[in-house]
Structure 1
Amino acid sequence: MGTLYSTTVNAVGGRNGTVQSTDGLLDLGLAMPSGLGGKGGATNPEQLFAAGYAACFGNAVIHITRNKEQKIKDDDVEVAATVGLVPNGSGGFTLTVALDVTLVGIDQPTAEAIVAEAHKVCPYSNATRGNIDVVLGVKTR
Structure 2
Amino acid sequence: MADKILYTTSAVNTGARAGESHTPDRSYEVNIDVPKEMGGKGEGTDPEQLFALGYSACFHSALDHFKKEDKVKNKSQVTLTVHLVEDPTDGGFKLKTEIEVGIENMSEDEVLSLAERAHEFCPYSKATKGNIESTVTVVPYEEGK
TM-score greater than 0.5 by the shorter chain: yes
1:67-78 equivalences under 5 Å are 67-72=69-74, 76-78=75-77
Q: After superposition, give the CA deviation of every residue in 1:13-42 in whole Å (9 maximum; x if it has no partner).
A: 100010000132210111100100011121
Matching residue of 1:3:
5
Q: Would you identify which runs of 4 or more consecutive aligned residues in structure 1 move more than 4 Å? A: none
Query: If the length of structure 1 is used for normalisation, what is the TM-score?
Result: 0.92
Aligned mates of 1:104, 1:59 — CA distance in 2: 17
Which residue type is aligned with residue 34 of structure 2? M
Identity across the alignment (%): 36
Which residue type is aligned with residue 83 of structure 1? V
1:115-126 equivalences under 5 Å are 115-126=115-126
1:107/1:140 contact within 8 Å kept: no
Matching residue of 1:46:
48
Q: After superposition, give the CA deviation of every residue in 1:102-129 in whole Å (9 maximum; x if it has no partner).
A: 1113222111100000000001100110
Unaligned runs of 5+ in 2: none
SS in 2 for 1:119: helix
| Count of residues paired in the alignment | 138
Matching residue of 2:107:
107
- Out of 8, 20, 23, the position equivalent to 1:21 is 23
Query: If the length of structure 2 is used for normalisation, what is the TM-score?
Result: 0.89
